[in-house]
Amino acid sequence: MFADYKRGLKHGIPIALGYLSVSFAFGIQATSLGLSALQAVMISFFNVTSAGQLAGLQLMAAGAPLIEMALTQLTINLRYALMSLSLSQKLDKTMTLPHRLLVSFCNTDEVFVVASQQPGRVGKAYLYGLTNGPFLGWVGGTLLGALAGGVLPAAVTEALGLAIYGMFIAIILPPFRRSKEVRAVILIAVAMSCLFALVPLFSFISDGFRIIVCAVAASALGAWLMPQPVKDEEEEVLA
Amino acid sequence: MAWSKFLIYLLVMAGVTYLIRMIPLAAIRGKVRSVFLQSFLYYVPYAVLGAMTFPAVFSATGSFPTALAGTIAALVLGWMEKSLLTVAAVSCVVAFLTGLVF
């Protein structure tokens, strides 16, 4: 049990360090838009999501209606429903309801992808280990950014905006290299996303919605043309 | 920002985000049997991250040349299977250095 926790913790360290730089940039932006350091930290503590928080921050600063806040979070973050659905298929018997309620709070893009890539099923010890570091990194980085924001030159804070994407690229490239099926799905998703974002005809589609449409279409196409039967690991877990 | 206003925004924002994550994980206890659905769920994380990264990464720094340089650095290091931290940090440094030139 403890070995699983330690293994998760170890897998979470690079995510936590990546989050430090990304949330640092978020902290800077939050204070520059008129929030206090404590408010910035509270947003990160209760949301634990990059794109949704950034959009939420801008809506707060603009004094947007609450319904717009709710709908924006729904579209940007709906991908998590897909991820939670996918993760639900990998959980072992230690993941009872209370643990599902807690772990889902920290089911970020990176945590999900790393958990998905583990052989067999994953349990509560591994998942708590995996989520603890990134959560601390996310909240701690926000605090540091909120406190240090005014001090850093703009050139530095702008360059930090790349951190989250660098992390995404680092996550998808190894499987992109190894599996031609994954490669095809990623290329379709990227091509669609660029098309929707850059062609003016599609400019009515919001960023969050675009991500969902592209991910669902590319994954469905992949599943239809290149099915990947996942073997049932039930026996291994019970053994 | 005034606390009364802030807390209502925070409640809506965090509430929606949590429910989206929690409901599927708490409600779905069984195993998906359909090969199509299994394959679909297998591909989802990669498709999501791909669509989130491109083309957004090119405007991440507010300047196309610096973002492009940082992206190329990330692609090269990612291809070499360097750690998340290495790829993220080096892409930021490359973007920063490019910004000194352009």
Q: What is the value of pTM for the model shown?
A: 0.78
| C-beta neighbour count of A7 within 10 angstroms | 15
Cβ-Cβ contacts under 8 Å, B69 against chain A:
none
Residues of B in contact with A156 (CB under 8 A): 96
Give the Cα-Cα-Cα angle B70, A159, A38 (nearest 5 degrees): 140
Q: Does B72 contact chain A (CB < 8 Å)?
A: no
- Partners of residue A95 on adjacent β-strands: none
> With an 8 Å Cβ cutoff, is A148 touching chain B?
no
Question: From B34, which residue of chain A is nearest by alpha-carbon distance?
Answer: A229
* Chain B touched by A197 (CB under 8 Å): yes
Q: Chain A closest CA to B15's CA: distance in Å?
A: 8
- B79 to chain A, any CB pair closer than 8 A? The answer is yes
The pLDDT tens digits of the residues spanning B34-73 come to 899 889 888 887 888 898 899 989 988 889 999 999 999 9
Q: Is B56 on the interface with A (CB under 8 A)?
A: yes
What ranges do the domains of chain A cover?
A: 2-176, 179-239
ipTM of the complex: 0.86
Structural domain spans, chain B: 49-102
- For every one of its 239 residues, what pLDDT tens digit does chain A have, with 9 covering 90 and above? 899 999 999 989 888 887 887 898 889 889 988 999 999 999 999 999 987 898 889 889 888 899 888 988 887 788 898 889 989 999 999 999 999 999 999 999 889 988 988 999 999 999 999 999 999 999 999 999 999 877 888 888 788 888 888 988 998 999 999 999 999 999 999 999 999 999 999 888 777 678 778 988 999 999 999 998 665 544 344 43
